[in-house]
Structures are given as structure tokens and as C-alpha cells.
Structure 1
């Protein structure tokens, strides 16, 4: 095992300490030292140049504020019977720059030592976060044994070695990534949490949207949910449902919405030319394979839309990214059920009450839908994610009777 760790590159931590992670004591969830460390990290990150202009980094810093952490802790009531599982091995997704930090911080808050395999892609956000972490650890040295941020060539031997160190493994990524990592055995009592390929969509009540004075804000919020990350996150909507029995009203709402979003995108969105080709191919594919698809005229390459005449269980298989959206006119929520299968993660909404959507999901009990949030909150991470309560699953219960 020692020579295997020599092939690992460390952004935070080192190989000598990594050999001894199983000797580090687990903590109780929301340990005071961890709370103080994250509060320091929030302050340090906010002060770094350019962070306030990057919404994903600013959101991360905001998430770690003492008031935010206190609110999270208060959700759990008495947690004196919980203690971290030990060592958590996180395999971060390759498509979302800051996801690794949320996974790491969740592991810390639940009381674990954390080994995080970072994305191979060199996101600037990763370097900024590592800078803030290193400075914060210098002020909180007792937390250092609990954080290892690493990169390595995806060798199964290294996956095997790290998996055998851990008590819980969190695999963020596509189904193929999960399949590969599960070939590496865990310890007998090891726990696997897999965050697989998912999709998400938006529901907008057409009439209430047209009556809303906040159309520009909704456009900016929808942009943050989608184009800010090129729709690469599972929680980024790829389908927009226009809810309403009056088709004329729905069409007016549709036209108004896309006009506002196009203005926002023209000011904020930059994409690679290859993305335009990818979207055009997706548009041609769905038009050839699905009956009744209406292609909305393409004035430029920022936004492309395909309107569906019906929804089916495989409709979301035709979703794309980088400003490509499916659309559907629904007279009732029941028409949405086919896309609420096991792969469905998040519904974002505007112009409709949260309780209406919550009751719809509870009563119909689809295999999917784990989150219902307003437009603008699709990417906001919480300790309840993908249907998992992460604090509960990343800690163990000690019973005394």
C-alpha cells in the first residue's frame, strides 16, 4: 500500500498522515471545532479576490456561515447519540466545480475523516477553495487530520486501497463511475452512497407567471439554475413544463419567459462553438425519433428548444446541455407523472404553491422526485440530498439502555 500512495497527488494533506487515518477518532456531528473551522473558511473565502463575482463560490461561503450552520444543526434536535462512522472516501463529480467542497463539509459535519478525490479537470474554483482551506487549517490545526484532497490516475489499485481505508464511500458521478468504483471492495461494515445520473425539470404556472412583477428576477434565477453551470448538474432543469388549461395563455407566458432569459443569457453566457453543434445534433435526433416535436426557430446558438406533444418515461433521455431545453404544455399536474420516475431528482417551480407540488408527489408517490424548490435554488446544496439524509447516514447511532 505505501508505494500505491506515492502515486497520489495531494492538494491538502500528505501521504504520511493518510497511512494513519484509521487511528483518528471520529467526532460527534456538528462538533464545535468543525463549526469554528467552517466559519473561518467562510470568512477567508469571502475575502479572496473574485469570489463575490462567482456565484458558486459566494454560495459556498454563505453556506458555511455560523448562522447557516446553526440552522442546519437545529434541524436534528438531540444528536448526542450520534458519532461519525470513521473515514469517508468521496469521489467528486467531474462536471460541477464546487460539489467536492459540499461533500467534504458534509463529511466533516457528520464527524468523519475525509478523503476526497477531486475532479481531474483543473477548475479555477478548486484552486481558490484549496487556498482558503489551507489558510483556515493553519488557524485550526486540529482539523488537519480530517481532510485529504487528492488526485490520481484512475487506477483500480488505488481505488481498492482507499476503499479499504474507508467506513463509508460517497460516489458522485455517472452510472459508469459508480459501476467502476463498486468493483473495489469495502470493509465488511462499509457503507456505499451512490449519487447517480439524474434529471430535473421546471414547472411554471402560465397565468400566475404572466401576472408576476418579478419576471426579470425569475429569468436571472433560472439562468443560475441552468446556464451558469451549462446544465451539467443533475439538479439543473432540462425540461420546462407550462402549466395551464388555456393554451393561449401558456404560449404567451412561454414567449415572454424566453425573451427575458435570452436577454440575461446575451449578457452573461459564453459557450464553446462545439456546444452549438452538440445542441443542433440533439435537436435533429429528437425530431427524427419522436413524433410531434416542434422546433422553435433558432435565431442564434445560445438557446435551442424542442417542444414535445406528449411526455413519456423516456422523454428526458433526449435532454442536452449548454442552453438546450425541452418544453411541454400541461393542462394538469397528472400529465407530468411520466417524467417523475426513479431518475428524477429536482422539480423547480414558479407561480405555483410549494404545498400543491408536495401534496402531488405524496399522493401520486412516483419513484423519483427528491427535491421541490423555487426557481433559483436548484443548485443550493442541503444535507438532505438525492433522497438521503446525509448526517444520519454518515454517522452511526450509539444506543444505551
Structure 2
């Protein structure tokens, strides 16, 4: 059936290239050609003056370094009989600027041709990344047919046409976005991978924090986890759980350091300040014992909870809005660790303690446990999915 693509705006590629993608031969995962393309992108990015103004763009460049890519490859065993599934359609989220690139690069590393719907929001980082990717493709023209970047509004006909081309569809977004895209049928053997809207938590041992020598550095790490992207990423913590004895002293020092760093590096928009106060009032109206424990400048709004009730995470905020709870143990967090809970960021808590808690409580959520400063570090195992396994097919050769 003839597909119609009226309404598409191509940023990289064109309609003829798009139509030809299903006929491209997939590469094996971590193919030398793909590695070379991403390493060129890394080199160009890390030398680019405009890119250096954006930490998330530079982080993307570091992610594509040869050492980083080799480490990813080393994490997998024998991939000799795996090949990309074919065409991957990526529906990028609107709230995190560089996410489309990580999704695209995952598709390239697993040997696929890739169609990417760019975020609809006007992130300034997106044209920088696109420009650098175009420059990298100029040095690797044979791989240009494997990448189409495009934009379009929420048009069912275009979703239908693009979904009919793909062998894997990767959807980043909220429940409504996922439901809308899933109205478009896939080929019988095509797969859907949905990265739904989720939330993340942080847990910190107060006594070990007080003994920590470089509290300023830890404040910067938590800033990178949160305010670097306005807490818009699912992996950015919105609730901080305190453990230990000296929780009051630790909280005072932690937030003093964090507030000082944020004051130098985070511009507070008036609308964000209003939204944070609105969220505070909503929480206080619905959950008894909620109280504001931060000062009055609204750069950082801290809300102390009297209990960890599962529904409270639906009222999480962003742009410097943090809920806090003083817990007796990790067990207190269990009610919040349902399927919507993605990442647990920790400081001062032993890995064995976390492993024992996970084994005992077996929560349906928490797909990642990372140290402070690492919540935004994208890997090929994300949201509980192994992207190398899902974006490739295995040829079972029993000869």
C-alpha cells in the first residue's frame, strides 16, 4: 500500500531515503562502521565551542568516545550471531533535549536503520546535535541512508505510515503519548518498546554524609542529577529519603551546600516559582502533616512528608521542588517502589544493604541503582530493558 507522508519536515534525510529504509541490510551490533561514526561525532562535539556551553551535549559526546563504546561492547558476550532487527522508529520525548540522540545512537549501535521524530519543543541543544551529526555523516557518507530525522505534529496518518515501515518502535513519553502512538498498527513481527513517564527517588545516609569531606562536590553531583534539566527527566529524583541518626544536621548542611551551588548556576523563572508553590498547596491539601521546610526565596522548595503514601508521587514537582522524608530503614520506601519507580540514587548506603532490601521486598519498580551524580548517565540497559537484546535478532545456528 502506498504510504503518504504529507506533513513531514525532514531535518536529515528525505522521503525517498525514508521509503528505502526497509530494504537496507542491518549491521551486527557494535559494527566497526557505526563505532567509527559515533567516535567522529564525539571528536567533533568535544571540540565544538557552541557545544561546550551545554553540559548535556558534552555528556553525549563523552558517551560516544571510543573508550566508552568499547566498555559497552565488553559488557556483552558473544554477539557473533546477532543482527539489527531492521528499521527502528524512535518517538523522542519533548522534555529532555538530548534524549533523541541517545535513542538514535542505541539504534545505530545495534545495527538498525533509524527514523527519529525530534522533540516538538524548541530546545537549543537539538540544532547543535543535528549540526554535529551532519558533520559526522559527511565523513561517513555510507551510513547516511541509516538515519532520518524529522518533525511532524500529532497526525495519525503519519504515525500509521511510519509505524508500517518499522521493525521496532521505541516510544518515549507519557501514557497519553504511548496510547496515541499504539493506535497505529505494526507489522506482525514488529516490537514495541515503551519508555513511559516514571519517577525516581534518592536515599542518603545522614551520618556518612556528615563525615564526607567534599560536600560541595556532592551538591554539584545532585544538581547535575536534578536542576541540570529542571528535574524533567524520569531519572531525576523528586523525593529524598534520609536514613541514619543525625538526619537534622545532615539535612541542614546538605541543603545549604545545594542552595549555594544552585544560586550560582540555576536561573529561577517566575512561572516555576509559582508552580512550585501551587504544588505545595496541592500536597498539603491532600496529605496530612505536609509542611514546607525551606526558606522563602523559592529557588529550592523543600516539602517534608509525614508518611510515604504511594499516591504522593503523582504530585511531584520540578524546577527545584523536592519532597523529603526521614525514614527508619529502606523498608519505609517500599510502598513507593511500584512499576512507575525508575531510579534510586544513593549516597553512603552499602550495595549489600540495597541488594538485601531488594531481595527481601522484591518491589515491582526500581530498574537502576546509581550513585549521586549518575542518574542521567544513559546506558544500553534502561528502564529494565536490555536494548541490545531487544533491538537485535539472534540467528540460532546449531551446525
TM-score interval w.r.t. the shorter chain?
Answer: over 0.9
Once structures 1 and 2 are overlaid, which stretch shifts more, 42-51 or 231-240? 42-51
Q: Deviations over 1:344-379 (max 9, x none)?
A: 000001111233213321332100000000010000
Partner of residue 392, structure 2? 395
Would you say 1:312 and 2:309 are equivalent positions? yes
CA RMSD of aligned residues (A): 1.1
> Aligned residue for 1:270?
267
Deviations 1:100-135 (CA, angstroms, capped at 9, x unpaired): 000000000011000000001121111011111111
**Alpha-carbon distance in 2 for matches of 1:189, 1:86:** 11
Secondary structure of the residue aligned to 1:327 is strand
What is the SS of the residue equivalent to 1:93?
A: coil
SS in 1 for 2:234: coil
Specify the alignment match of 2:141 in structure 1: 141
Unaligned runs of 5+ in 2: none
Partner of 2:158: 158
State the distance in 1 between where 2:190 and 2:166 align. Answer: 7
For residues 268-304 of structure 1, the C-alpha deviation after alignment (integer angstroms, 9 at most, x for no partner) is: 0013211111100000111111011121143202111
How many Å apart are 1:46 and its aligned residue?
1.3
Structure-2 separation of matches of 1:47 and 1:6: 38
User: Cα distance, 1:315 vs. partner?
Assistant: 2.0
Match of 2:360 in 1: 363
TM, length-normalised to structure 2: 0.98
Which residue of the partner structure matches residue 187 of structure 2? 187
Check conservation: 2:294, 2:300, Cα contact below 8 A: no
| Contact 2:3–2:161, Cα closer than 8 Å, also in 1 | no
Please say which of residues 295-304 and 64-73 is displaced more in the overlay.
295-304
Tell me the matched-pair count. Answer: 398
Alignment correspondent of 2:69? 69
CA offsets, 1:290-330, max 9 Å, x none? 01112114320211111011112112112111100000001
Q: 5 Å matches for 1:169-318?
A: 169-244=169-244, 246=245, 249-318=246-315
**Is there any run of 5+ residues in structure 1 with no aligned partner, and where?**
none
Query: What's 2:30 paired with?
Result: 30
Query: Matched residues in 2 for 1:317 and 1:136: separation?
Result: 41
State how 1:310-349 maps to structure 2 within 5 Å. Answer: 310-349=307-346
Helix, strand or coil at the partner of 2:364 = coil
Question: For residue 59 of structure 2, what is the aligned residue in structure 1?
Answer: 59
Check conservation: 2:294, 2:303, Cα contact below 8 A.
no
Structure 1 position 79, deviation (Å): 0.1
* Pairing 1:101–2:98 present: no
**Residue 2 of structure 1, CA deviation:** 6.7
